[in-house]
Amino acid sequence: MRKGELTHQAILERAIQLASRVGLQGLSIGGLAEELQLSKSGLFAHFRSKTSLQVEILEAATALFTERVIRPALTQPRGEPRVRALFENWLTWERELVPEGGCIFVAAATELDDAPGPARDRLVQTQRDWLDCLAQAARIAVAEGHFHKDVDVEQFAHDENALLLGFHHSARLLKEPRAETWARRAFDALLRAARPQGS
């Protein structure tokens, strides 16, 4: 019972790293088992199918993301500082993972967007939660008077997310060194436009 849960967690940990590089579909049971010095059937003692493994990967990654990106931001003061913290924490999350394959959610988004099933459903939920989180932070910023009254918080969340996607894309595909600078500058412009006086 003890040992089992330990390896279960070890499998998920390694699987997240691997899937970030090769994708959830590209992830092979055999390859994963080999990296863990385990047999393929040893894996199937912990996950009844590849699909259920994919769902568990997304769940574990979501928990990690919440802990590393969202929770630290909640310690920041309500309003604009928290909005900014969410953005910065995401950048850090991605930057630290870039050599490993970058944000697993972005990596999974493309390959799952046309593959209905439990894995896709789980990913959509995580993405929706993230956008809601961004929108809620912006909503608070409006309430606190940091943002102008008629800022569309959902639009703001969408824009912010688009910048993060753009960063991921430029950093990973084009290996563009200015990607982070560009993303941060664009976000500053977004904040500036949202503030009451306009600068």
Partner DNA sequence: CGGAAAAAAGCACGAGCGTTTAGAAAGAGC
Partner DNA sequence: GCTCTTTCTAAACGCTCGTGCTTTTTTCCG
Select the residue interacting with DNA from 17, 35, 42, 188 (CB under 7 A): 42
Min separation Cβ 20 and DNA, Å: 16
Nearest to 164 by CA among 112, 89, 59: 89
User: What's the burial of 167, exposed, middle or buried (CB within 10 Å: 0-12/13-18/19+)?
Assistant: buried
Closest CA to 51 of 1, 3, 116: 116
Q: How far is CA 157 from CA 11, 136, 154, 160, in A?
A: 33, 9, 5, 5
CA–CA distance, 110 with 114 (Å, rounded to integer):
8
Residue with smaller CB distance to its own copies, 33 or 112: 112
As measured in angstroms, the least distance from the Cβ of 45 to its own copies is 29
- Choosing from 46, 120, 139, 168, the residue that interacts with DNA (CB under 7 A) is 46
Binding residues among 134-163 for DNA as defined by CB under 7 A: none
Tokens (6 digits) for 193: 């436009």
Applying CB under 7 A, does 2 fall inside the site for DNA? Answer: yes
Nearer to its own copies, 46 or 106 (CB): 106
Q: Which stretch binds DNA (CB under 7 A): 24-32, 56-64, 68-76, 107-115?
A: 24-32
Q: Which residues bind DNA (CB under 7 A)?
A: 1-5, 7, 27-31, 33, 37-42, 44-46, 48-51
